[in-house]
Amino acid sequence: MIEHDKPVTIVDIAKDTGLSIATVSRALNNSQKVTDKTRRKIKESASRLKYIPNEGAKALVQGTTNTIGLLLNDLSPASNTVYTILNEMTAKRDYKLLVFNSLNQINSQEHCIIDMLNRRITGIIIIPLPGAYHSLEPIYNSGTPCVIINRFVREFNFSHVIFDFRIGVCEAVDYLVISRQRKHFFQLANMDVYAGLERRKAFQFALKANQIDHSYNPVYPVDDSFKSGYEAMSLILNEHPEADAVICSSDYTAAGAIRACRDNKKKVPEDISITGYYNSEISEYFIPRISSIDANFSELCRTALDKMIAMIKNHEDHPENFSLPTRFIRRETS
Protein backbone atom coordinates (compact mmCIF):
# COMPACT_ATOMS: atom_id res chain seq x y z
CA MET A 1 0.00 0.00 0.00
CA ILE A 2 1.30 3.43 -0.94
CA GLU A 3 0.92 6.14 1.71
CA HIS A 4 -0.07 9.59 0.47
CA ASP A 5 -0.07 13.08 1.85
CA LYS A 6 -1.13 14.44 -1.54
CA PRO A 7 -3.96 13.42 -3.90
CA VAL A 8 -3.35 10.16 -5.77
CA THR A 9 -2.30 10.63 -9.41
CA ILE A 10 -1.98 8.30 -12.39
CA VAL A 11 1.76 8.21 -11.65
CA ASP A 12 0.97 6.51 -8.32
CA ILE A 13 -1.31 4.00 -10.05
CA ALA A 14 1.42 3.27 -12.60
CA LYS A 15 3.91 2.57 -9.77
CA ASP A 16 1.39 0.39 -7.95
CA THR A 17 0.54 -1.72 -11.01
CA GLY A 18 3.95 -1.73 -12.67
CA LEU A 19 2.41 -0.39 -15.87
CA SER A 20 3.23 2.71 -17.90
CA ILE A 21 1.59 6.07 -17.25
CA ALA A 22 0.23 6.04 -20.82
CA THR A 23 -1.45 2.65 -20.27
CA VAL A 24 -3.00 3.83 -17.01
CA SER A 25 -4.32 6.97 -18.69
CA ARG A 26 -5.85 4.98 -21.55
CA ALA A 27 -7.51 2.53 -19.18
CA LEU A 28 -9.03 5.25 -17.01
CA ASN A 29 -10.42 6.89 -20.17
CA ASN A 30 -11.89 3.55 -21.35
CA SER A 31 -9.66 3.32 -24.43
CA GLN A 32 -10.19 0.23 -26.59
CA LYS A 33 -6.39 -0.08 -26.89
CA VAL A 34 -6.24 -1.58 -23.38
CA THR A 35 -7.22 -5.21 -22.71
CA ASP A 36 -10.07 -5.94 -20.31
CA LYS A 37 -7.66 -7.71 -17.94
CA THR A 38 -5.32 -4.71 -17.79
CA ARG A 39 -8.22 -2.27 -17.44
CA ARG A 40 -9.60 -4.22 -14.47
CA LYS A 41 -6.18 -4.29 -12.80
CA ILE A 42 -5.77 -0.53 -13.19
CA LYS A 43 -9.28 0.31 -12.00
CA GLU A 44 -8.90 -1.98 -8.98
CA SER A 45 -5.69 -0.14 -8.09
CA ALA A 46 -7.37 3.24 -8.60
CA SER A 47 -10.23 2.21 -6.32
CA ARG A 48 -7.90 0.86 -3.63
CA LEU A 49 -5.75 3.99 -3.69
CA LYS A 50 -8.89 6.18 -3.64
CA TYR A 51 -7.93 7.90 -6.88
CA ILE A 52 -10.11 10.90 -7.81
CA PRO A 53 -9.93 12.01 -11.48
CA ASN A 54 -8.73 15.57 -12.10
CA GLU A 55 -11.59 16.90 -14.20
CA GLY A 56 -9.82 20.21 -14.69
CA ALA A 57 -6.78 18.53 -16.21
CA LYS A 58 -8.97 16.35 -18.40
CA ALA A 59 -10.80 19.46 -19.64
CA LEU A 60 -7.50 21.10 -20.58
CA VAL A 61 -6.51 18.05 -22.65
CA GLN A 62 -9.89 17.39 -24.27
CA GLY A 63 -10.98 21.03 -24.54
CA THR A 64 -14.31 20.29 -22.83
CA THR A 65 -15.94 18.36 -19.97
CA ASN A 66 -18.83 15.94 -19.78
CA THR A 67 -20.71 18.47 -17.67
CA ILE A 68 -23.91 20.39 -18.33
CA GLY A 69 -24.35 23.67 -16.49
CA LEU A 70 -27.76 24.65 -15.11
CA LEU A 71 -28.22 28.34 -14.31
CA LEU A 72 -31.32 29.23 -12.26
CA ASN A 73 -32.37 32.70 -11.15
CA ASP A 74 -34.08 32.01 -7.82
CA LEU A 75 -34.92 29.41 -5.16
CA SER A 76 -38.60 29.08 -6.10
CA PRO A 77 -40.44 25.73 -6.06
CA ALA A 78 -40.42 25.75 -9.88
CA SER A 79 -36.62 26.18 -9.99
CA ASN A 80 -36.16 23.42 -7.42
CA THR A 81 -38.35 21.11 -9.53
CA VAL A 82 -36.26 21.81 -12.64
CA TYR A 83 -33.05 21.08 -10.72
CA THR A 84 -34.35 17.83 -9.22
CA ILE A 85 -35.59 16.46 -12.55
CA LEU A 86 -32.53 17.48 -14.57
CA ASN A 87 -30.15 16.11 -11.93
CA GLU A 88 -31.73 12.67 -12.29
CA MET A 89 -31.98 12.84 -16.09
CA THR A 90 -28.38 13.91 -16.68
CA ALA A 91 -27.04 11.16 -14.42
CA LYS A 92 -28.93 8.55 -16.44
CA ARG A 93 -27.36 9.93 -19.63
CA ASP A 94 -23.80 9.83 -18.17
CA TYR A 95 -23.50 13.61 -17.82
CA LYS A 96 -22.72 15.58 -14.69
CA LEU A 97 -24.88 18.55 -13.72
CA LEU A 98 -23.23 21.65 -12.27
CA VAL A 99 -25.78 24.07 -10.79
CA PHE A 100 -25.48 27.86 -10.47
CA ASN A 101 -28.03 30.32 -9.08
CA SER A 102 -27.99 34.08 -9.69
CA LEU A 103 -30.52 34.71 -6.88
CA ASN A 104 -32.16 37.44 -8.98
CA GLN A 105 -28.95 39.48 -9.19
CA ILE A 106 -27.77 40.66 -12.62
CA ASN A 107 -24.11 40.83 -11.56
CA SER A 108 -24.35 37.34 -10.14
CA GLN A 109 -25.80 36.00 -13.40
CA GLU A 110 -22.91 37.55 -15.34
CA HIS A 111 -20.35 36.00 -12.97
CA CYS A 112 -22.05 32.60 -13.13
CA ILE A 113 -21.93 32.63 -16.92
CA ILE A 114 -18.23 33.54 -17.03
CA ASP A 115 -17.50 30.88 -14.41
CA MET A 116 -19.28 28.21 -16.48
CA LEU A 117 -17.42 29.17 -19.64
CA ASN A 118 -14.07 29.17 -17.81
CA ARG A 119 -14.83 25.65 -16.58
CA ARG A 120 -15.34 24.54 -20.21
CA ILE A 121 -18.89 23.39 -19.50
CA THR A 122 -20.10 21.16 -22.36
CA GLY A 123 -23.50 22.85 -22.59
CA ILE A 124 -25.70 25.27 -20.67
CA ILE A 125 -29.40 25.08 -19.75
CA ILE A 126 -30.58 28.37 -18.33
CA ILE A 127 -33.59 30.16 -16.88
CA PRO A 128 -32.22 33.68 -17.36
CA LEU A 129 -33.01 36.64 -15.18
CA PRO A 130 -35.69 38.83 -16.84
CA GLY A 131 -34.33 42.09 -18.17
CA ALA A 132 -30.72 40.85 -18.09
CA TYR A 133 -30.58 39.03 -21.40
CA HIS A 134 -27.57 41.07 -22.53
CA SER A 135 -25.48 39.04 -20.08
CA LEU A 136 -26.05 35.96 -22.26
CA GLU A 137 -23.83 37.40 -25.01
CA PRO A 138 -20.65 35.57 -23.83
CA ILE A 139 -22.48 32.24 -24.19
CA TYR A 140 -23.60 33.14 -27.70
CA ASN A 141 -20.14 34.35 -28.73
CA SER A 142 -18.43 31.24 -27.31
CA GLY A 143 -20.55 28.87 -29.39
CA THR A 144 -21.30 26.78 -26.29
CA PRO A 145 -24.56 24.79 -26.80
CA CYS A 146 -27.33 26.58 -24.90
CA VAL A 147 -31.03 25.94 -24.31
CA ILE A 148 -33.29 28.54 -22.67
CA ILE A 149 -36.20 27.17 -20.63
CA ASN A 150 -39.35 28.91 -19.39
CA ARG A 151 -38.29 32.19 -21.05
CA PHE A 152 -38.03 33.51 -24.59
CA VAL A 153 -34.94 35.55 -25.45
CA ARG A 154 -35.30 37.44 -28.73
CA GLU A 155 -31.87 39.08 -28.57
CA PHE A 156 -29.93 35.88 -29.36
CA ASN A 157 -30.63 32.90 -31.60
CA PHE A 158 -30.84 30.18 -28.92
CA SER A 159 -33.10 27.13 -28.66
CA HIS A 160 -36.06 27.55 -26.29
CA VAL A 161 -38.47 25.27 -24.43
CA ILE A 162 -41.51 27.11 -23.05
CA PHE A 163 -45.03 26.39 -21.82
CA ASP A 164 -48.13 27.42 -23.78
CA PHE A 165 -50.25 28.79 -20.93
CA ARG A 166 -53.27 29.56 -23.11
CA ILE A 167 -54.61 26.00 -23.23
CA GLY A 168 -54.68 25.42 -19.47
CA VAL A 169 -55.99 28.91 -18.65
CA CYS A 170 -58.76 28.66 -21.25
CA GLU A 171 -59.80 25.26 -19.90
CA ALA A 172 -59.97 26.70 -16.37
CA VAL A 173 -61.94 29.82 -17.33
CA ASP A 174 -64.30 27.83 -19.57
CA TYR A 175 -65.11 25.47 -16.71
CA LEU A 176 -65.60 28.27 -14.17
CA VAL A 177 -67.89 30.24 -16.48
CA ILE A 178 -69.97 27.35 -17.81
CA SER A 179 -70.14 25.01 -14.82
CA ARG A 180 -69.77 27.44 -11.92
CA GLN A 181 -71.30 30.57 -13.47
CA ARG A 182 -68.39 32.73 -12.34
CA LYS A 183 -68.39 36.33 -13.60
CA HIS A 184 -65.82 38.31 -11.61
CA PHE A 185 -62.34 36.99 -12.37
CA PHE A 186 -59.01 38.08 -10.91
CA GLN A 187 -55.45 36.96 -11.43
CA LEU A 188 -52.44 36.87 -9.12
CA ALA A 189 -49.62 37.26 -11.66
CA ASN A 190 -45.95 36.62 -11.11
CA MET A 191 -43.87 39.77 -11.50
CA ASP A 192 -41.49 37.85 -13.78
CA VAL A 193 -41.28 39.73 -17.08
CA TYR A 194 -41.80 36.76 -19.42
CA ALA A 195 -43.89 34.23 -17.50
CA GLY A 196 -46.06 36.89 -15.89
CA LEU A 197 -46.70 38.63 -19.21
CA GLU A 198 -47.54 35.39 -21.02
CA ARG A 199 -49.97 34.34 -18.29
CA ARG A 200 -51.65 37.74 -18.33
CA LYS A 201 -52.08 37.45 -22.10
CA ALA A 202 -53.56 33.96 -21.72
CA PHE A 203 -55.89 35.15 -18.93
CA GLN A 204 -57.14 38.13 -20.94
CA PHE A 205 -57.62 35.93 -24.02
CA ALA A 206 -59.73 33.45 -22.02
CA LEU A 207 -61.88 36.21 -20.50
CA LYS A 208 -62.47 37.78 -23.89
CA ALA A 209 -63.39 34.41 -25.41
CA ASN A 210 -66.03 34.00 -22.70
CA GLN A 211 -67.24 37.61 -23.05
CA ILE A 212 -66.15 38.45 -19.50
CA ASP A 213 -65.44 42.13 -18.86
CA HIS A 214 -61.86 42.75 -17.70
CA SER A 215 -61.73 46.53 -18.00
CA TYR A 216 -61.38 46.81 -14.19
CA ASN A 217 -57.72 45.64 -14.41
CA PRO A 218 -58.08 42.31 -12.57
CA VAL A 219 -54.35 41.52 -12.28
CA TYR A 220 -52.54 41.76 -8.93
CA PRO A 221 -48.73 41.28 -8.79
CA VAL A 222 -47.27 38.58 -6.53
CA ASP A 223 -44.22 36.38 -6.08
CA ASP A 224 -44.48 32.63 -5.59
CA SER A 225 -44.99 32.56 -1.82
CA PHE A 226 -47.78 31.86 0.68
CA LYS A 227 -47.45 35.34 2.14
CA SER A 228 -47.69 37.10 -1.21
CA GLY A 229 -50.78 35.08 -2.14
CA TYR A 230 -52.38 35.85 1.21
CA GLU A 231 -51.72 39.59 0.99
CA ALA A 232 -52.86 39.94 -2.64
CA MET A 233 -56.04 37.94 -2.00
CA SER A 234 -56.82 40.04 1.08
CA LEU A 235 -56.46 43.17 -1.05
CA ILE A 236 -58.78 41.79 -3.73
CA LEU A 237 -61.46 40.92 -1.17
CA ASN A 238 -61.19 44.39 0.34
CA GLU A 239 -61.33 46.24 -2.99
CA HIS A 240 -63.61 43.84 -4.90
CA PRO A 241 -65.93 41.89 -2.57
CA GLU A 242 -67.78 40.67 -5.68
CA ALA A 243 -64.78 38.55 -6.75
CA ASP A 244 -65.80 34.93 -7.34
CA ALA A 245 -62.84 33.40 -9.24
CA VAL A 246 -59.07 33.85 -8.88
CA ILE A 247 -56.28 32.25 -10.90
CA CYS A 248 -53.01 32.37 -8.95
CA SER A 249 -49.36 32.42 -10.05
CA SER A 250 -48.56 29.09 -8.36
CA ASP A 251 -50.04 26.51 -6.02
CA TYR A 252 -48.21 28.24 -3.15
CA THR A 253 -49.85 31.61 -3.80
CA ALA A 254 -53.14 29.73 -4.19
CA ALA A 255 -52.68 28.22 -0.71
CA GLY A 256 -52.08 31.70 0.70
CA ALA A 257 -55.16 32.99 -1.15
CA ILE A 258 -57.31 30.21 0.32
CA ARG A 259 -56.19 31.14 3.83
CA ALA A 260 -57.06 34.80 3.14
CA CYS A 261 -60.54 33.75 2.00
CA ARG A 262 -61.09 31.82 5.22
CA ASP A 263 -59.89 34.74 7.34
CA ASN A 264 -62.33 36.99 5.46
CA LYS A 265 -65.27 34.59 5.94
CA LYS A 266 -65.31 33.54 2.27
CA LYS A 267 -65.95 29.86 1.52
CA VAL A 268 -63.87 28.04 -1.11
CA PRO A 269 -65.26 27.03 -3.58
CA GLU A 270 -68.83 27.98 -2.62
CA ASP A 271 -68.23 31.75 -2.62
CA ILE A 272 -65.02 31.95 -4.61
CA SER A 273 -63.05 29.55 -6.81
CA ILE A 274 -59.25 29.38 -6.49
CA THR A 275 -56.95 27.91 -9.14
CA GLY A 276 -53.20 27.44 -8.77
CA TYR A 277 -50.36 26.89 -11.24
CA TYR A 278 -47.90 24.04 -11.91
CA ASN A 279 -49.90 21.17 -10.33
CA SER A 280 -47.18 20.76 -7.71
CA GLU A 281 -47.27 18.29 -4.82
CA ILE A 282 -48.91 20.79 -2.47
CA SER A 283 -51.98 21.00 -4.73
CA GLU A 284 -52.75 17.33 -4.08
CA TYR A 285 -52.15 17.34 -0.30
CA PHE A 286 -53.38 20.79 0.78
CA ILE A 287 -56.84 20.99 2.40
CA PRO A 288 -58.87 21.59 0.33
CA ARG A 289 -57.07 20.01 -2.62
CA ILE A 290 -56.15 22.82 -5.02
CA SER A 291 -57.33 22.96 -8.63
CA SER A 292 -54.32 23.79 -10.76
CA ILE A 293 -53.03 24.47 -14.26
CA ASP A 294 -50.63 21.63 -14.94
CA ALA A 295 -47.26 22.43 -16.52
CA ASN A 296 -45.30 19.26 -17.21
CA PHE A 297 -41.79 20.00 -15.91
CA SER A 298 -40.59 16.49 -16.69
CA GLU A 299 -41.41 17.05 -20.35
CA LEU A 300 -39.83 20.52 -20.20
CA CYS A 301 -36.57 19.12 -18.85
CA ARG A 302 -36.54 16.07 -21.14
CA THR A 303 -37.07 18.23 -24.23
CA ALA A 304 -34.33 20.65 -23.17
CA LEU A 305 -31.87 17.85 -22.39
CA ASP A 306 -32.62 15.97 -25.63
CA LYS A 307 -31.93 19.12 -27.62
CA MET A 308 -28.79 19.84 -25.61
CA ILE A 309 -27.32 16.37 -26.14
CA ALA A 310 -28.17 16.48 -29.85
CA MET A 311 -26.29 19.78 -30.11
CA ILE A 312 -23.30 18.33 -28.25
CA LYS A 313 -23.05 15.02 -30.10
CA ASN A 314 -23.96 16.19 -33.58
CA HIS A 315 -22.19 19.56 -33.34
CA GLU A 316 -25.40 21.14 -34.64
CA ASP A 317 -26.19 24.80 -34.16
CA HIS A 318 -29.71 24.85 -35.59
CA PRO A 319 -31.88 26.58 -32.95
CA GLU A 320 -35.37 25.20 -32.31
CA ASN A 321 -38.31 26.48 -30.27
CA PHE A 322 -40.53 23.99 -28.43
CA SER A 323 -43.92 24.96 -26.98
CA LEU A 324 -45.44 22.52 -24.47
CA PRO A 325 -49.19 22.46 -23.72
CA THR A 326 -50.68 23.01 -20.26
CA ARG A 327 -53.98 21.64 -18.90
CA PHE A 328 -56.50 22.37 -16.17
CA ILE A 329 -56.67 19.88 -13.28
CA ARG A 330 -59.96 20.29 -11.39
CA ARG A 331 -59.95 19.55 -7.68
CA GLU A 332 -61.82 20.82 -4.62
CA THR A 333 -61.18 24.58 -4.86
CA SER A 334 -63.09 25.18 -8.09
pLDDT, tens digit, 9 for 90 and up, residues 193-243: 677 888 889 999 999 999 998 888 799 999 889 999 999 999 999 999 999
What's the CATH number where 34 sits?
1.10.260.40
Residue 193 in domain: yes
- The residue type of 136 is L
Is the pLDDT assigned to residue 178 strictly greater than 90? yes
Give the DSSP letter of residue 269: T
Residue 2 in domain: no
Least confident range from 106-110, 128-132, 169-173, 287-291: namely: 128-132
Which of 318, 303, 308 has its CA nearest to residue 161? 303
Tell me which H or E stretch contains 245: strand 245-247
Residue 332 in domain: no
pLDDT winner (highest mean) among 124-133, 195-204, 288-297: 288-297
Question: Across the beta sheet with 291-294, what order do the strands follow?
Answer: 219-222, 185-190, 245-247, 273-277, 291-294, 327-329
Q: Both 304 and 266 in a single domain?
A: no
Residue 95 in domain: yes
The phi and psi torsions of 148 (rounded to 5 degrees) equal -95, 130
End-to-end CA distance of the chain: 68
The pLDDT value given to residue 9: 87
Least confident range from 76-80, 112-116, 202-206, 322-326: namely: 76-80
Residue 75 in domain: yes
Residue 3 in domain: no
16: CB partners within 8 A, 6+ apart: 2, 45, 48, 49
Cα–Cα distance measured from residue 101 to residue 282, given in angstroms and rounded to the nearest whole number = 24
- For residue 14, the enclosing domain spans 10-53
Residue 126 in domain: yes
The pLDDT value given to residue 56: 55
Q: Both 77 and 119 in a single domain?
A: yes
**Sign, CA torsion 308/313/318/320:** negative
What's the CATH number where 137 sits?
3.40.50.2300
Q: Both 261 and 208 in a single domain?
A: yes
pLDDT tens across 12-48, in order? 999 999 999 889 988 887 788 889 999 999 999 998 9
The pLDDT value given to residue 26: 87
The pLDDT value given to residue 59: 53
Q: Both 24 and 171 in a single domain?
A: no
Q: How many domains does the chain have?
A: 3
Q: Both 158 and 185 in a single domain?
A: no
Cα–Cα distance measured from residue 108 to residue 105, given in angstroms and rounded to the nearest whole number = 5
Alpha helices in 75-164 (DSSP H): 77-92, 106-118, 137-142
Share of the chain above pLDDT 90, in %: 72
Is the pLDDT assigned to residue 2 strictly greater than 80? no
Q: Both 104 and 196 in a single domain?
A: no
Residue 304 in domain: yes
Q: Are 224 and 250 in contact (CB under 8 A)?
A: yes
